Amino acid sequence: MVKIIPYSGAYLKSYQDFARRGWGKNCYQQTEKYLNWLYQKNPYADKEKPFWLVIEPQNNMVIGVMHKMCLPWVIDEQKVLVSSIHNLLVDKDYRRGSGLMLITAALKDAAHAFCPGVWPPLSDAYKMLRCQEIDALWFRKIISPVGAVVQKIFKLALPPRKKNIRAQILTEPSAVQIAAMVKTLNVKSGGHVLWDVKIFNWRFLQGPKHVFLWEDAANFLILSAGQRKGLTVARIIDGHIENENSSLWRDTLSAARSLRAVVLLGYTADRNLQKYFLTKIKPNAKHPLVFFYHKDKKKREMNFNAAAGDFGLESFLNN
């Protein structure tokens, strides 16, 4: 019988071996950089129960894992800590019931939990637990079909292409710009991440690499870029756009090209960005499901972007 326990440093090597088996030898999940950023540097991290392991007791070996990212949220007009559950994986020989055990352990003492990017049959478990399914918009844009083929088959990256970009491209926004973005991102109805300067800096400037496309305090996007399945992928993971005629979509495509990305991905449950993106691209018909767990089973208005979850973490591989 397997057991579910919180991670501790004694299991580092066994966890890393498991991560390389499941996600590949060069996966970001096995790096200490990822673990330190997510569980040591995060001011809201759960130090006692950073994330969950499935242990095969006979050999005391890690055979499953579920990570979480703790962030402050506003829910029901109150500040609460919410765990964003991600990177759930179990060795093939132990998948009968171990995934559900991990989910149950993660939700046991939680008032709320964010569960992004879930495919069947795992999504059936969240439905069984009466989690709230969130109306999310997913899209994918092939920026360079030729570049995608060259990267995938020949393992070569095309040279970056630079075009005129109206927005400022920032890797280190000023303190004034950061404060403005924090203020704008917090002006929302419904449940959303409660940003402050400290957690904003941790999320976007201290771990995975990000690029900021800045027009002004009301119009900006935050991107990441990294290797995923042999391709350089750019993601839109947060932002706000009030100007419906903003050039930020075009600027994003140009910025992604300059990062050698051949694919642009996007995901949002934020009505502001959904409205803007729906004028630019057709959403994916087939996509993962997004859930929010509430202990009281009450459905709520939720209004957040992908930065609340794990999206863009593959950019660790480019640091």
| Cα distances (angstroms) measured from residue 81 to each of 73, 85, 105, 135, 193 | 6, 13, 17, 22, 9
Can you give the pLDDT at residue 151?
67
The average pLDDT across 284-304 equals 96
pLDDT tens-digit readout, 92-143: 988 888 888 999 999 998 999 999 999 998 899 999 999 999 999 999 999 9
Residue with tokens 């990294």: 226
CA distance 221 to 59: 47
* Per-residue buried b or exposed e for 67-89, using 16+ beta carbons within 10 Å of the residue's own CB: bbbbbebbbeeeeeebbbbbbbb
Tens digits of per-residue pLDDT, 58-68?
999 999 999 99
Choice between 55 and 157, residue whose per-residue pLDDT is larger: 55
* pLDDT tens digits for range 220-252: 999 999 887 778 899 999 999 999 999 999 999
Mean pLDDT of 198-219: 96
What does DSSP assign to residue 88?
E
pLDDT digits (tens, 9 = 90+) for 182-204: 999 999 999 999 999 999 999 99
List, in order of start, the domains of the chain with CATH numbers: 3-133 (3.40.630.30), 137-318 (3.40.630)
Classify residue 121 as exposed, middle or buried by CB count within 10 Å of its CB (0-12, 13-18, 19+).
exposed
Residue pair 52/44 in contact (Cβ under 8 Å)? The answer is: no
Q: How confident is the model at residue 259 (pLDDT cuts 50, 70, 90)?
A: confident
Beta carbons of 303 and 197 less than 8 angstroms apart: no
User: What is the structure's pLDDT at 43?
Assistant: 95
Interatomic CA distance for residues 186 and 177, integer angstroms: 14
Backbone angles phi, psi at 118, to 5 degrees: -110, 125
Could you give the C-alpha distances from 280 to 77, 207, 244, in angstroms and in order?
33, 30, 11
Q: Is the pLDDT of residue 279 over 60?
A: yes
User: What are the tens digits of pLDDT across the range 146-163?
Assistant: 666 566 665 666 666 666
> How far is it, in rounded angstroms, from Cα 61 to Cα 217?
49
In the prediction, which pLDDT does 149 show? 59
What's residue 114's pLDDT?
97
Residues 118 and 284: their CA atoms lie apart, in Å, by: 15
Report which of 132, 134, 140, 118 is spatially closest to residue 66, judged by C-alpha positions.
118
pLDDT on residue 80: 98
Confidence of residue 164 (pLDDT cuts 50, 70, 90): confident
Nearest to 115 by CA among 267, 266, 293, 288: 293
Q: How far apart are CA 262 and CA 157, in angstroms?
A: 9
At 154 the pLDDT is: 53
Amino acid (1-letter code) at residue 248: L
- Mean pLDDT (the chain) is 92
Nearest residue to 42 (alpha-carbon basis) of 188, 208, 185, 178: 208
- Could you give the CA distance from residue 177 to residue 167 in angstroms, rounded to a whole number? 13
